[in-house]
Structure 1
Amino acid sequence: MFEVSSTFYVVLVIYFVVILGIGIWAGRTNKDSEDFLVAGRSIGPLVGGAAFAATQMSAGTFVGTLGVHYMTGGSFLWIWAGLWMGWLVAATLVGPKFQSFKGLTVPDYVGTRFNSKAARAISALLILIAYTVLLTAQYQAGGNIFQTLFGIPFIWGAIITVGITLLYTMKGGMRATAYSDFVQAVIMAGCFFAVLPLLFQEAGGSEFVGKFLTELNPKITGWHFGFKDLLGFGASFGFAMAAAPYELARMYTLRDKRTVKLAIGFSFIFQAIVGISVAAAGMAVRTLFPYMATPDIASTIMAINIMPPVIGSLIILAILSAIMSTVSGVMMVSASAFSHDFYATMIKPNATDQERIKVNRIAILVLGIIPIFLALKKFDIVQFIVTLQASLTASFFFATVVLGLNWKRGTAAGAIVSMILGFFTALFWYIAGKPFGLSEVIPGVAVSLLSFVIVSLFTKPVPKEALQPFFDDVT
């Protein structure tokens, strides 16, 4: 616990008032389930790009990635190459087709493209499982921050993190999520980039930082991770980002195909600023505080112990913004998978629009609470929990999305087998301790791709009407 200045409380209150205000405004603007789930398809490229970046840059970035750089040095930067390759696939092969489909949820795409309620239900279930893992990492980061700052029990920190996010997400839906993400992305990129000169000045300058870290451990300024490690990290995030359900859901909110490409371009700018800043900050903090109980608190200690009160407060807000933006986006995707793809499609197809919105809000509440209990277990440091989630998501969804949108021969049976085998291959590979030093995402995606192609070639093609929304040459 550290002595927190009154400035921090003032800044924190102002921030929460602004975010909750966005939720209230969005709630009054929403008129139907399309407004609630996809913001009336009204989001432009700048806000959309900020939302892409803010959702992707979660606690895994500002708590986890900074902590990994603190612990291991600069070589972890190479994960961004894999991540951006995933974004390029999303911009060229996925995003434009996905946006033009005009669905409401990600399983909407699966059910329509493969003409299968079973494929739709399985995709919704796997999204719920994978995103429960991701929410666990976000809650763990929030609990660590509040515990470090105020000395309160870990669980109360996690509850505060999720509680405020629940309020504006339940009220304003995807519109509130998109506009709050814009505010949060500006805070994230601006704060961390602006703080670097002051941080390195406190650490004795870049030359001293390099010399100190080399003497402390040469791997910090060299290659802590080997080729297989970096390939695994990059592949996890790259394959996952090309077909990440929380980013795909954002594409429905954008105005048109051109907006999708521009928004992804804007998101690159935010991510590049943050990626470089986080890496440099992690190594500077290691110079000032060489030994910490856990690297997950490096960003919090940087804000409170090193920075002046106002700047430190803004950094904490940037970290909380990263957590809350991802929690909000994941809650929307998970809850809509339940309310729209289970309840409104299979349980009560004749449900009214207002009833669907009500069920969605209840689902946000329930699905937002469950990961709190998993976060108490503290299975691993935050970044590696996020990496596991990315591997699982890529393993069950990359083939279904990327091949499904670009290969007409893909069938429902191929999608179902691909999702199930990909998910369990990655899970069992992880449990087995990553044989041969390979990340679980490599065999997971490989099995998923092969099974999708092989099973599709030996099973009945989907009707042409199922292909029409995705292929312009199908009539």
Structure 2
Amino acid sequence: MTDSFWLVLAIVLYFGVMVAIGFYSWLRTSKYDDYVLADRGLGPFVAGLSAGASDMSGWLLMGLPGALFVAGMSELWIVVGLFIGTWANWKFIAPRLRAYSEVAKNSITLPSFFQNRTRDSSPLLRVVAAVIIIFFFTFYVSSGMVSGGRYFESTFHGDYLTGMLIVGSITVLYTFLGGFLAVSYTDVVQGALMFLALIAVPVMALVALDHPADIFSFATSHAYGPWPEGNPNYFDMIAGVSGATVIGNLAWGLGYMGQPHIITRFMALRSPEEATSARRTGTFWVLMCYLGAVSTALVSTVYFAQHGSTVTDQSGFETIFLDLSRILFHPFIAGIILTAVLAAIMSTMSSQLLVTSSALVEDLYRATSRRTPSHTTLLVLSRSMVVAVAVVAMVLAVHPSDTILNLVGFAWAGFGAAFGPVVVASLYWRRLTAPGAVAGMIAGAATVFIWGSIDVLSGAIYEIVPGVAVATAALVVGSLLTTPKPGTSEEFDSALAAAGGNPSEAPAV
């Protein structure tokens, strides 16, 4: 049997499991709230792994190893920032958001939480938040489509467009069927695959080297990848890196507090108390995956040079994990391992598709509709919007104009700046008002868009840094110039008590 047969068999089995989970979740999804947030029934293990898997898109196995392979350990600042951000998000945001989102009229989406938290009588705050979600997630989902296309190029030497359509269609199918429950359960399977693959691939590549210790010196003085004479600063995290670059890369961690597809897992926990257990699961999983991605890049600098193998992607070198898997393992085992890349791509895309669909239906249609739609209508609309958003993202991905990491970076900064300060203020500052939240979101999103569109500025520092700074200033000024609605302070105390905090600890001004 040919190699292609075994690879295809592994992929088909994986797709079959994903679709089966979708059908299983469909049978358990009878209400609109089930489809959007699984009726707040996620256990800590599922929530922790689901949050991690939905966070780690194709960039973990493709974009990040490629960046480390090309630029060296100076790219590790991103990993440091993201790991700290992961831990802080679970520690300081998860328990309070779980409690407060239920206290605030049982909010099931982030925009609805913002509106209910500030007791905004108009739909403006909710609509602005929904529009930001739709805009930035379109780019984010598109990056997943690009990853899917490149996956098929490397694995099967096939057509980019065909691969993109296959990956996108399967993701849409199980998300369409099972909603949040399907997304969460598939995340657990996908997270386990990613975890195992990121351990197996670098270990096997290391074993295949004649002198494994070469990985700690080879790249500095030998030709590899894009470096015909080696990269003398490969292992130096500081040399040749400006302070602004270090700050910008560390600032990726700031983005966590504003990622809707991640923090909705906090809202879906069974109780605020279970956030501690979920944090331990999630942060351990993330740490091991980062170690695997870094190891993949490090071993690749030696492996491809010494074995005469060619990296499929000669531009961003984002296929080194795929190429190693294909070379080192039996085709069927390689196929199973390579499904980890699909897992990373699809777990993130499915979460983003569901959040975007919820924003369109729950926060645009339902918030502005004069009639109260039935649960059946809302379910049909939600599933329809999953398909519609996917189609738009596919169109954008037909001719990708940027690397996966850059596409993700733009969307990550957008959410981090637009929503991060508002989320933190919602949970820790009782003085927040709706006008202040609107000002912060618009200022953050606009700053990221403008800054990221100007090469001189984006090259100076990652746009999330000025975005968060401007958003925070606008939020504080806007809130201090306006008056909180009656009852918000009392509700703030109730939510804080439900999360196990002390109301006296929260600043009033």
What interval of TM-score do these two structures reach, taking the shorter chain for normalisation? over 0.9
Could you tell me how far 1:170 is from its partner in structure 2?
0.5
Cα distance, 1:445–1:460 mapped onto 2, change above 3 Å: same
CA distance in 1, matches of 2:280, 2:8: 35
Give me the TM-score of the superposition, normalised by structure 2. Answer: 0.88
Could you tell me how far 1:74 is from its partner in structure 2?
2.6
* 2:105 is equivalent to residue 106 of structure 1: no
* 2:460 is equivalent to residue 460 of structure 1: no
Aligned residue for 2:91?
92
Cα RMSD, aligned residues only: 1.9
Alignment of 1:322-401 (within 5 A): 322-347=344-369, 349-401=371-423
Task: Give a deviation string over 1:295-329, Cα, whole Å, max 9, x none.
Answer: 12222211212333233212210000000000010
- Do 1:7 and 1:310's aligned partners in 2 also have CA atoms closer than 8 Å? yes
Residue 422 (structure 1) aligned to one of 429, 444, 460:
444
Residue 242 (structure 1) aligned to one of 247, 253, 257:
257
Residue 221 (structure 1) aligned to one of 213, 235, 238:
235
Task: Give a deviation string over 1:216-263, Cα, whole Å, max 9, x none.
Answer: 21222223644422321221x211112211112112221001222321
Task: Give a deviation string over 1:67-113, Cα, whole Å, max 9, x none.
Answer: 11221223322323212332333223321121122321111111111
Aligned residue for 1:55?
54
Alignment of 1:68-467 (within 5 A): 68-100=67-99, 101-102=101-102, 103-116=107-120, 117-215=123-221, 216-223=230-237, 225-235=241-251, 237-290=252-305, 292=311, 293-294=314-315, 295-347=317-369, 349-435=371-457, 437-465=460-488
Cα distance, 1:203–1:416 mapped onto 2, change above 3 Å: same
Could you tell me how far 1:27 is from its partner in structure 2?
0.3
Could you tell me how far 1:434 is from its partner in structure 2?
4.6
Following TM superposition, the consecutive aligned residue runs of length 4 or more in structure 1 with deviations greater than 4 angstroms are: 471-474
Larger CA deviation: 257-266 vs 28-37: 257-266
How high is the sequence identity, in percent, across the aligned residues? Answer: 25
For 2:434, the aligned partner's letter is A
CA distance in 2, matches of 1:183, 1:205: 35
Task: Give a deviation string over 1:406-445, Cα, whole Å, max 9, x none.
Answer: 1011111111111111111121111122537221111110
Query: What is the SS of the residue equivalent to 1:203?
Result: coil
| Gap regions ≥5 residues in structure 1 | none
CA distance in 1, matches of 2:195, 2:346: 15
CA distance in 1, matches of 2:370, 2:323: 50
Query: What is the SS of the residue equivalent to 1:296?
Result: coil
Aligned positions, number: 471
Give me the TM-score of the superposition, normalised by structure 1. Answer: 0.95
Cα distance, 1:461–1:72 mapped onto 2, change above 3 Å: same
- Do 1:408 and 1:467's aligned partners in 2 also have CA atoms closer than 8 Å? no
CA distance in 2, matches of 1:213, 1:271: 26
Query: What is the SS of the residue equivalent to 1:43?
Result: coil
Query: What is the SS of the residue equivalent to 2:318?
Result: helix
- Do 1:50 and 1:267's aligned partners in 2 also have CA atoms closer than 8 Å? yes
Aligned residue for 2:226?
none
CA distance in 2, matches of 1:79, 1:208: 25
Cα distance, 1:348–1:152 mapped onto 2, change above 3 Å: farther
CA distance in 1, matches of 2:278, 2:371: 34
CA distance in 1, matches of 2:242, 2:302: 23
